[in-house]
Amino acid sequence: MSETRVGFVGLGLMGQGMAANIVGKGYPLSVYAHRNRAPIEDLISRGAIEAADLADLGRNSEVIFLCLSGSPQVEEVVAALKPGLARGTVLVDCSTSDPVVTERLAHELAAQGVDFADAPLSRTPKEAWAGTLDCMVGATPEVFARIQPIIATWAGKIVHIGGVGDGHRMKLLNNFISLGYAAIYAEAIALSEKVGIPIASFDSVIRGGRMDCGFYQTFMASALEGNREAHRFAISNAYKDLRYLESMANDAKVVTNMASAAKNAFAYAMANGGDGPEDYVPHLTDFTAKLNGKS
């Protein structure tokens, strides 16, 4: 049993599996319920303790992980945690957040003697439960040394990218590539069908070739096999991430022809009914098909 007391906020698709690994591998864990009781009850059954509120979770934790939808939610939770945070506490944001907000929060918390790190994720809920996520960390070397053993309970690959904010910058680049793939796949499938090549034939050429990858396989499990749960990452989150990327590029004065095109593919889906919590990234094929005249 580790003596480091850990808190976790954000027990969604990724967070529940991550938290289960933390408590399952010996760390005392405090959790907080926002709306859904099921993950809380599961984690309590594994040995976690439920905090009365966020300030209480802050008081009883030395390292706190946040796995939320985006920067607005992170800011809200950090504000609620602040009254309970002691000097030397570390907050670790595993969300895909705006690096500008990340740096500002780090500066504000430093005045309170609290450290902040960004440690966003890659892969899927399946890997969260298996403890084999990828993680890219922005933190000082000292803070990274403190949080790395805890991150290792749920991540198989951990890369210390640089200082605070660099993890989130790298995550936006990572998601630009993956979501760019999604936009390309959706458009290629629409074109394939328009010219008379069935999706199965299209897939038989790509799968196992140089253009194949893990992202392609989960995407096609939905588009080809009809498994709409194969890649549970919401279109709304994808759109948010690409907007964060665009903002980062604007600040850096970088032309983003491809990123803007990918963002617009998701913007179309959002504007045409794809903004629900169960509208996942592979469903982009449906909206791209509709844009091209398929009902």
Q: Which residues contact 295 (CB under 8 A, 6 or more apart)?
A: none
Q: Tell me if residue 194 is catalytic.
A: no
Burial of 91 (0-12, 13-18, 19+ CB in 10 A): buried
CA atoms of 92 and 78, how far apart (whole Å): 11
- Listed in order, strand segments (DSSP E) in 94-251 are 115-118, 121-122, 133-138, 155-162
Please state the pTM of the whole predicted model.
Answer: 0.93
Angle among Cα 33, 37, 39 to the nearest 5 degrees reads: 85
Give me the sign of the Cα torsion angle 180, 181, 184, 190: negative
| Token output for 131 | 């403890």
Question: For the chain, what is the largest distance between any 2 Cα atoms, rounded to a whole number of angstroms?
Answer: 64
The tokens describing 227, both together, are 């498994």
CA 133 to chain centre: 11
- Which residues lie across from 202 on neighbouring strands? none
Digitized pLDDT (tens) for each residue of the chain, 295 residues in all: 578 999 999 999 899 999 999 999 999 999 998 778 999 999 999 999 999 999 999 999 999 999 999 999 999 999 999 999 999 999 999 999 999 999 999 999 999 999 999 999 999 899 999 999 999 999 999 999 999 999 999 999 999 999 999 999 999 999 999 999 999 999 999 999 999 999 999 999 999 999 999 999 999 998 888 898 888 899 999 999 999 999 999 999 999 999 999 999 999 999 999 999 999 999 999 999 999 998 6
How many C-beta atoms lie closer than 10 Å to residue 173's C-beta? Answer: 13
* Active-site option among 25, 82, 157, 171: 171
